[in-house]
Structure formats: C-alpha cells, structure tokens
C-alpha cells in the first residue's frame, strides 16, 4: 500500500508519499511565507495562484524522491477542508486529475484530523481512545478521539487560535515575518523576562474547556503602545533598550498564551476520563506544537496527570503532505474511499469541498460540567 497525500488548504503547498507501514518515502513543502510577509496576510486569490504555480512541481518532486511514478500508487489522499475553497480546489483538482488518469481511488481528508492522526504514524503504541490538543493558525481544539472518524470536541476557541495570536504579536514586535511569526517569537522570547509584564490569563472565570486569544492580543497591543514600540521599526534596527522591551513582551505573552493551554488541558483530561477512563495519551499537534516551550509545558501537565505526551516532530506539526497521506492510509484500510474519478472529468466539475467542517461533535454535557 502506497499513498500520495496532497495538502493546499492554506498557505503551504505540500505533497508526500507514505507506505502503509508508515514509512515516509518523500515529503515536499513549498511555502508562501515570503508572499505573506510582503502583503501582510493570506489573500485567497493570491494564495490560489501561488498553489497553482507550484502544485504540479511539488507532486512530481514527491513522486521522484520516492522513486515512484503515479502508476505505482494505491490511492491519492487530498485535503478537502476546512480551509480556503480557492486553495483547497487546487489540491483537489490535481488529485482528481492524477487519480482519473491512473485509475486510483481517492480519499478526501479533514485537515485537522490529519494534524491529529499523524501522531499515530510516529507513535505506534498510540491507540484509540486518546486525547488531542490541536493548536495551529486557525484552530484551537481539544478533542477526545474515540475511534477513527469518531471525535468528541471538548473545547474550541471562541475567537482566535493561539497561532494567530503568535503571528500578530510577532508582527507588532517588528519580527521578521519571512518565516511565520511563531518561530521568530519563540526565539525572541528566550531573551526576555516572562514575569516582567503581568498579562491576565484568558477565561479564568469560565469553567469550561474553551479558549480565547482575542483579549490577550489586545493586552499585547496595549503593552506595545505603553512601551513606545514602533512595529514599523524592525527588531534588527531597534536599540538595545527597545529590543529588551520587545523580548519581555514576547516572553510574557508566550507564558500566558501557553498557561491558558495548560489550564484547559488539565480540565479536559478530567472531563475525558469521565467519558473514557482508559485514555493513556495526549497528542499535541498543529503548527504551534513545534514550539519547544509549548512542548515542555504540556509535557509537565501530561506527567502530572499520569498520561503520556505524543508530539510529532516539528516538520510534521506544521502543514505537510505526510499527515494527509497517513490519514488517507488509515481510512483506506477501513474501506473508506471514493472510486477513481473519470479520466476526462471536466474542469468545471463541482468538487466536494468543505471549507467549514467541524471535527466531531460537541461534548453535550460540557455545559453542565462547567457549572
Ligand atoms: P490550520 O491548521 O488551523 O488550518 P494552518 O494550517 O495555517 O492553520 P499550521 O501550519 O498548522 O496552520 O500552523 C501554522 C501556525 O503555527 C502559524 O500560526 C505559526 O505562527 C504557528 N507556529 C509555527 N511554528 C511555531 C512556533 N515555533 N511557535 C509558535 N507558533 C508556531
Ligand atoms: Fe494546519
């Protein structure tokens, strides 16, 4: 069994080839970070164009590196949501073209399920049921994974995701955004004093497992104003005093942003154990899970609760094709896939895209638990 995975839901164009036994034969990611830095965010039309420009090349490179041709594949897996439809369409069109030409089954993948299940590729002992904290640019989810395709949502964000808060804070601190903001902020935070600014932890009074990062963003903005930091001046040109203030804000922000995760995870573990007393693992995945401070703090929470942390290596935490291919393999093995599309499918065919697609059902008892 050999599956090609294609991912274009946001700003990375990625493809990978993975074997049924979990062996990664190739992985290729083409990032639009440069474009994003230049124009200050994702413009769907521009992102679509960027995907279209590189998709053929990225897929070809993934096949070449795996020493395979499309003929050797068992199936093609592709992200169909959630994400920007214009972007999703580029990956889906490519996947269907390839699948149509080579008579391959096709597997539509949920991007967040892929972030979650890639943990089962790297940790073979990870069996259902388990818990997952999925933290990325657009999502902040606490999940109880009962079984493949069967998830309960214990918590989600009521406004922004933590990755968005990292990105905005990085931008306001004048960091180099030619990568995404998260890694740059993590680096700067190491120079700062995390106790210097007392940001308040979000949602202290809410006894549920939801998240909020909009208020913390506002607190950061105010701190930037009161420390006379000019975001237009890049950190590389800042005076040492100015740099020091920026590092203090970065460290203080990071401490509270992650403390919020810690508190919610603590409670979610309690909830999850009432539903599934046998859980042994907490998976932490999504772009923000590549952060070392995040990993260390959550490891502490997990140990305190007698669980084991499963955190994929950084390259598999941020968007990648491996997670899509692997999730495809999991579904394929359960007989969940679509038949090959017709080889002459028209360009105007209306694809099954799911730009808004919740992962699993909300935990109905959550409200009474929170009382
Ligand atoms: P989603 O998965 O919600 O659709 P996405 O696919 O755009 O969003 P990912 O690639 O999964 O997001 O994650 C990107 C996010 O992770 C960005 O917000 C980025 O700043 C953040 N991130 C990446 N590395 C780090 C890091 N070291 N520290 C903090 N944040 C990070
Ligand atoms: Fe993602």
What does the alpha-carbon distance between residue 165 and residue 137 come to, in Å, rounded to a whole number?
8
Q: For ligand 1, say whether the CB of 186 is within 6 Å of any of its atoms.
A: yes
Counting from 1 in the atom list of ligand 1, the atom nearest the Cα of 12 is 10
Q: For ligand 1, say whether the CB of 360 is within 6 Å of any of its atoms.
A: no
Q: What angle do CA 347, 352, 21 make, to 5 degrees?
A: 105
Tens of pLDDT along 289-345? 999 999 999 999 999 999 999 999 999 999 999 999 999 999 999 999 999 999 999
Residue 351: which region, alpha, beta or left (left: phi > 0; alpha: psi -120 to 50)?
A: beta
Measure 125 CA to ligand 1 centroid, in angstroms: 26
Q: Are the C-beta atoms of 155 and 211 separated by less than 8 Å? A: yes
Tens of pLDDT along 30-79? 998 777 776 766 788 999 999 999 999 999 999 999 999 999 999 999 99
Measure 129 CA to ligand 1 centroid, in angstroms: 25
Q: What is the pTM of this model?
A: 0.97
Q: Is 9's pLDDT higher than 90?
A: yes
Give the β-pairing of 12-19 and 2-7: antiparallel
Q: Mean pLDDT across the stretch 87-111?
A: 98
Counting from 1 in the atom list of ligand 1, the atom nearest the Cα of 186 is 28
- The pLDDT of residue 193 is 98
Residue for token pair 């079984």: 147
Task: Write the DSSP assignment of 223-253 as a string of letters.
Answer: HHHHTT--TTS-GGGS-HHHHHHHHHHHHHH
Counting from 1 in the atom list of ligand 1, the atom nearest the Cα of 162 is 18
Which of 11, 285, 288 has most ligand 1 atoms within 8 Å of its beta carbon, as the pocket-test mutant? Answer: 288
Measure 69 CA to ligand 1 centroid, in angstroms: 31
Map residue 66 onto helix, strand or coil: coil
Tens of pLDDT along 217-274? 999 999 999 999 999 999 999 999 999 999 999 999 999 999 999 999 999 999 999 9
pLDDT band at 279 (very low <50, low <70, confident <90, very high): very high
Which residue's alpha carbon is nearest to atom 3 within ligand 1? 138
Which residue's alpha carbon is nearest to atom 25 within ligand 1? 182
Q: Is 10's pLDDT higher than 70?
A: yes
- The pLDDT of residue 162 is 98
Q: For ligand 1, say whether the CB of 182 is within 6 Å of any of its atoms.
A: yes
Q: For ligand 1, say whether the CB of 192 is within 6 Å of any of its atoms.
A: no
Tokens coding 27: 């992985």
Of 14-23, 170-179, 318-327, least confident by mean pLDDT is 170-179
Counting from 1 in the atom list of ligand 1, the atom nearest the Cα of 183 is 27
pLDDT band at 195 (very low <50, low <70, confident <90, very high): very high
Q: For ligand 1, say whether the CB of 168 is within 6 Å of any of its atoms.
A: no
Count the Cβ atoms, other than its own, within 10 Å of residue 270: 12
Give the β-pairing of 12-19 and 281-285: unpaired
Counting from 1 in the atom list of ligand 1, the atom nearest the Cα of 319 is 10
Measure 122 CA to ligand 2 centroid, in angstroms: 18
Q: What ligand is nearest to the CA atom of residue 84?
A: 1
What does the alpha-carbon distance between residue 161 and residue 288 come to, in Å, rounded to a whole number?
10
What does the alpha-carbon distance between residue 240 and residue 237 come to, in Å, rounded to a whole number?
9
Tokens coding 56: 């053929």
What does the alpha-carbon distance between residue 24 and residue 4 come to, in Å, rounded to a whole number?
10
**Predicted complex ipTM:** 0.99
Tens of pLDDT along 148-168? 999 999 999 999 999 999 999
Going by C-alpha positions, the residue among 236, 258, 235 that lies closest to residue 246 is 235
- The pLDDT of residue 40 is 67
- Alpha helices in the chain, H assignment, sequence order: 33-39, 44-65, 85-102, 111-122, 162-172, 181-189, 214-226, 240-275, 292-304, 314-317, 322-333, 366-369
CA 68 vs CA 13, 60, 337: distances in Å? 20, 10, 22
Q: Mean pLDDT across the stretch 182-196?
A: 98
Map residue 254 onto helix, strand or coil: helix
Which residue's alpha carbon is nearest to atom 16 within ligand 1? 287
Tens of pLDDT along 65-82? 999 999 999 999 999 999
């Amino acid at each position: 069994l050999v599956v090609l995975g294609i991912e274009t839901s946001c700003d990375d164009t990625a493809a990978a080839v993975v074997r049924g036994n979990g062996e990664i034969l190739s992985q290729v990611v083409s990032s639009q970070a440069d474009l994003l830095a230049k124009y200050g965010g994702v413009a769907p039309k521009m992102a679509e164009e960027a995907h279209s420009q590189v998709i053929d090349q990225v897929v070809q490179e993934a096949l070449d590196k795996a020493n395979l041709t499309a003929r050797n594949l068992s199936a093609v897996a592709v992200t169909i949501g959630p994400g920007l439809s214009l972007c999703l369409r580029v990956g889906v069109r490519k996947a269907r073209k390839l699948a149509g030409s080579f008579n391959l089954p096709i597997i539509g993948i949920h991007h967040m399920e892929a972030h979650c299940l890639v943990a089962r590729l790297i940790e073979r002992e990870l069996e259902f049921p388990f818990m997952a904290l999925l933290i990325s640019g657009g999502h902040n989810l606490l999940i109880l994974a009962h079984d493949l395709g069967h998830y309960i949502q214990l918590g989600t964000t009521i406004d922004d995701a933590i990755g968005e808060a990292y990105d905005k804070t990085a931008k306001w601190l004048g960091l180099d955004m030619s990568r995404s903001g998260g890694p740059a902020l993590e680096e700067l935070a190491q120079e700062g004093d995390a106790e210097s600014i007392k940001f308040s932890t979000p949602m202290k009074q809410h006894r549920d497992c939801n998240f909020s990062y909009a208020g913390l963003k506002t607190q950061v903005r105010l701190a930037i104003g009161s420390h006379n930091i000019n975001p237009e001046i890049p950190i590389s040109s800042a005076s040492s005093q100015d740099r020091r203030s920026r590092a203090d804000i970065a460290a203080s922000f990071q401490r509270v942003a992650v403390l919020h995760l810690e508190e919610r995870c603590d409670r979610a573990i309690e909830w999850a154990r009432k539903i599934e007393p046998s859980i042994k693992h907490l998976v932490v995945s999504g772009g923000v899970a590549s952060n070392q401070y995040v990993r260390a703090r959550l490891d502490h929470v997990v140990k305190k609760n007698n669980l084991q942390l499963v955190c994929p290596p950084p390259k598999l935490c941020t968007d990648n094709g491996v997670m899509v291919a692997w999730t495809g393999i999991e579904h394929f093995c359960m007989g969940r896939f679509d038949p090959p599309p017709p080889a002459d499918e028209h360009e105007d065919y209306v694809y099954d895209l799911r730009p808004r697609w919740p992962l699993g059902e909300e935990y109905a008892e959550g409200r009474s638990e929170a009382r």
